[in-house]
Amino acid sequence: MEQLKADVVVVGGGPSGFGAAISAAREGARVILVEEDAMLGGSAVDYGVQAFSPGIVCGVNQEIRDILAQKDYTFKHTKSAFNSHWYAYACNLLASRESNLTVLTHTTGIGVLMEGDRVTGVVVQTRGGGDKGFIQRKIQAHVVIDCSGDGDVAVAAGAEFRYGREAKSEFNEPHAPDVADRRVQQCTWMYKSRRIDPNSTYVPDFDYNRDIGFGEYLHWGCQVECEDTTDAEALREAEKKAWEAMLPNFETLERNGFAVVGIAPKLGVRESRRIVGEVIVTENDCNEGRRFPDAITSSSRGLDSWEPDRKKIFYARSAMYDIPYRALVPKRIDGLLVAGRCLSATHIAKSGFRVMVTVSSIGQAAGIAAAQAAATGRMPREIDVARLQARLESPPHNVIWSKHREE
């Protein structure tokens, strides 16, 4: 099997993985970013999530926005909604400027290399061209960062994880159900529609859609429950339910002079596994505006959970709460960091800060931490967190969040 070597391997090229890879490379590490899709961008591309929710805008997220502001007519108009292809373009452009970064698209992480409880790399599968068919490669690295969204790498390494809702008794969370279960937030298939009859005065009035200008609407197209968002067969069943749920709205749009002009490549999964780290962020941490000494970013986003019983829990917060570095460090497993929507938090807590702007900053913190670990020969749980915090807010990373926390 072909062998590659890097200081840092990032699995998953969504907002968190892209931030991680760019930051690790800028910190001087040799980085390989593995993405199974053809394009970088993760949810912003393959789930058609084409709108930024509020948060502290800085770092790589700001750089992507600067490119969108030059290229994307929707972003110029709305300052928050955008088009997937321009998001992918921005990632591609930024990645191509990093000499320390190798991007392997069309490449899927399928396993981990381990020495005891330490991850030492990943096994990936891709297409070899010519007469090779499928090929597998081993990529050895000092640190692997799992930004797969689902925590697949961490699970392959034997990390502890949570799936579903915690019982109220466990962390005393006000919005937790009385009894724990295996239900997660609902899945939603995003799509866009456009007014094609110039005489139509119709305004789409389904649940959750947004006028993004130029006669176009972005639709949070359905709310379907999936029995297990990490299981291919269960996802297939949810996809069938999603088509059934969306077709009546498609017909309404067409009757009223609209056309459905773009359905996301994949049904959007809001939640799957949460890898248990050295700290688990809870609803009470968010409510109380908890400050952690190892904070790497903050959010003021309240809960935003599309609960399985179709009752959307949403409430705003005004105070900031911190995301601690220890939530990125899986318990017991070394050589591994977890960033993005699979990091260590409860079902309720995660619902607020899972949005792109925040996970991008979290990813950048993971990238700098991994580079620091590689440069010093330490494990991610042993790094100098004060140095990480200082580097995060310094050029070229510019993840400037702490002054916003005090505002």
Ligand X SMILES: Cc1cc2nc3c(=O)[nH]c(=O)nc-3n(C[C@H](O)[C@H](O)[C@H](O)COP(=O)(O)OP(=O)(O)OC[C@H]3O[C@@H](n4cnc5c(N)ncnc54)[C@H](O)[C@@H]3O)c2cc1C
Give the nearest distance from C-beta 152 to ligand X in angstroms: 5
Indicate the Cα dihedral angle 188, 191, 197, 203, nearest 10°: 40
CB-wise, 268 or 308, nearer to ligand X?
Answer: 268
CB-wise, 20 or 200, nearer to ligand X?
Answer: 20
Give the nearest distance from C-beta 122 to ligand X in angstroms: 8
Beta strands in 169-294 (DSSP E): 190-195, 209-213, 216-220, 258-263, 274-275
Give the nearest distance from C-beta 37 to ligand X in angstroms: 5
Distance CA 301, CA 149 (A): 20
Residues in CB range of 70: below 8 A, 6 or more apart: none
Give the nearest distance from C-beta 407 to ligand X in angstroms: 21
Residue 61: count of CB within 10 angstroms of its CB: 24
CB-wise, 197 or 227, nearer to ligand X?
Answer: 227
Residue 155: count of CB within 10 angstroms of its CB: 18
Residue 255: count of CB within 10 angstroms of its CB: 10
Query: Is the C-alpha dihedral spanning 108, 341, 53, 231 positive or negative?
Result: positive
SS3 for 85? helix
Give the nearest distance from C-beta 246 to ligand X in angstroms: 13
Residue 131: count of CB within 10 angstroms of its CB: 5
∠ Cα 322 315 244 (to 5°) = 110
Give the nearest distance from C-beta 262 to ligand X in angstroms: 14
CB-wise, 112 or 374, nearer to ligand X?
Answer: 112
Binding residues (CB under 6 A) for ligand X: these are 11-17, 34-37, 42-43, 46-47, 49, 51-53, 108-109, 147-149, 152, 188, 190, 268-270, 340-341, 354-356, 359
CB-wise, 79 or 387, nearer to ligand X?
Answer: 79
CB-wise, 168 or 317, nearer to ligand X?
Answer: 317
